Amino acid sequence: MKLIKGDPIAEAVYAECLATFETLKAAGRLPGLAVVLVGEDPASKAYVGAKDRKCQELGMYSRKIEKPATITQAELLSEIDALNADPAIHGILVQMPLPKHLDTDEVIRRIDPAKDVDGLHPVNLGKLAMDDPTGFAPCTPAGCQRMLVESGIETAGKHVVIVGRSLLVGKSLALLMMGKGKGANATVTVAHSRTTDLPALTRQADILVAAIGIPKFIGADHVKEGAVVIDVGINRIEDATAKSGSRLVGDVDFEAVASKCEAITPVPGGVGKMTIAMLMANTIRACRMRAGI
């Protein structure tokens, strides 16, 4: 069994970022990312902090915008308008989920598609569906695909079963994997909460992707001998033996499944590392496209 770790692959993405970064710097351009956080959700705060730190580490311009959970829709939209108009900002990410009283779809649609580095604007999702490389693919699916490519795992003609149909992960990854580029040309099945006899379906997968949000949901019974398993899930569970009283696990029961796999991603240290890397890559590309370089 091969362990597909996120760190070395993310480092390869950062090395590419730095090379492009030098070209941009020479042309007097500095890539800038704005991350908007609404409310006090601890997991969202941690994600935003990690994105901000990585921007600074790479030498990019980073702006963290923190707003109270009481912000109105109109106030949030005017914040987005200001970022759309700001020439120092090339990428805008609004950390999800937003508080319930806000209209998430309207917020995403307000972001200039050329700055939508999270890849969730209808224009970018349309470009993804059309195999148009000028769009931005959502970061987590793009990260999963990159992990497969860098690990030398053939996807062409393979049966990829994705469990989960969210736009953020499952549905977008399905579009990527059935596309025509590198790490694609797969035959894709998307399973979800209404799928009947899930184990029978997932056992057909050459490559199984779990994006469900239920700790250790995928067990040995779901996996064919020799399959590749990509675990997107990040779930915090109680663990009395851990110092903090909790730990992170994926949607896959790693201990039960690993010995059956040709390759598998760990949690933590797997796909999560790639999401931030692809966000940085998208932001630098947005800057390059704006500069016409």
Enumerate the active-site residues: 51, 95, 118
Residue number with CB closer to ligand NAD (6 or 32) = 6
Q: How far is the CB of 289 from ligand NAD (least distance, A)?
A: 24
Is residue 188 within 8 Å of 209, Cβ to Cβ?
no
Q: How far is the CB of 191 from ligand NAD (least distance, A)?
A: 6
Stretch that binds ligand NAD, among 64-72, 181-189, 228-236, 279-287 (CB under 6 A): 228-236
247 binds ligand NAD (CB under 6 A): no
Is residue 45 within 8 Å of 95, Cβ to Cβ?
no
Q: Exactly one of 111, 142, 232, 284 binds ligand NAD (CB under 6 A); which one?
A: 232
Cis status, amide bond into 97, omega within 30 of 0: yes
CA dist., res. 111 & res. 72, Å (int):
17
32 binds ligand NAD (CB under 6 A): no
165 binds ligand NAD (CB under 6 A): yes
192 binds ligand NAD (CB under 6 A): yes
Q: How far, in Å, are 16, 49, 123, 279 from residue 33 at the CA level? A: 17, 13, 20, 9
Q: Exactly one of 38, 92, 168, 175 binds ligand NAD (CB under 6 A); which one?
A: 168
Q: How far is CA 228 from the centre of its chain?
A: 19
Q: Exactly one of 169, 209, 252, 261 binds ligand NAD (CB under 6 A); which one?
A: 169
271 binds ligand NAD (CB under 6 A): yes
Q: Exactly one of 84, 166, 187, 189 binds ligand NAD (CB under 6 A); which one?
A: 166
269 binds ligand NAD (CB under 6 A): no
36 binds ligand NAD (CB under 6 A): no
Give the chain's largest Cα–Cα span. 57
Residue number with CB closer to ligand NAD (24 or 108) = 108
Query: Which residues are 3's β-sheet partners?
Result: 264
Q: How far is the CB of 139 from ligand NAD (least distance, A)?
A: 7
Q: Exactly one of 21, 141, 272, 279 binds ligand NAD (CB under 6 A); which one?
A: 272
Q: How far is the CB of 235 from ligand NAD (least distance, A)?
A: 5
Is residue 38 within 8 Å of 71, Cβ to Cβ?
yes
Residue number with CB closer to ligand NAD (114 or 275) = 275
Q: How far is the CB of 291 from ligand NAD (least distance, A)?
A: 28
Q: How far is the CB of 208 from ligand NAD (least distance, A)?
A: 12
Query: Which residues are 231's β-sheet partners?
Result: 210
Binding site for ligand NAD (CB under 6 A): 140, 163-166, 168-170, 191-193, 195, 198, 211-214, 232-235, 251, 271-272, 275
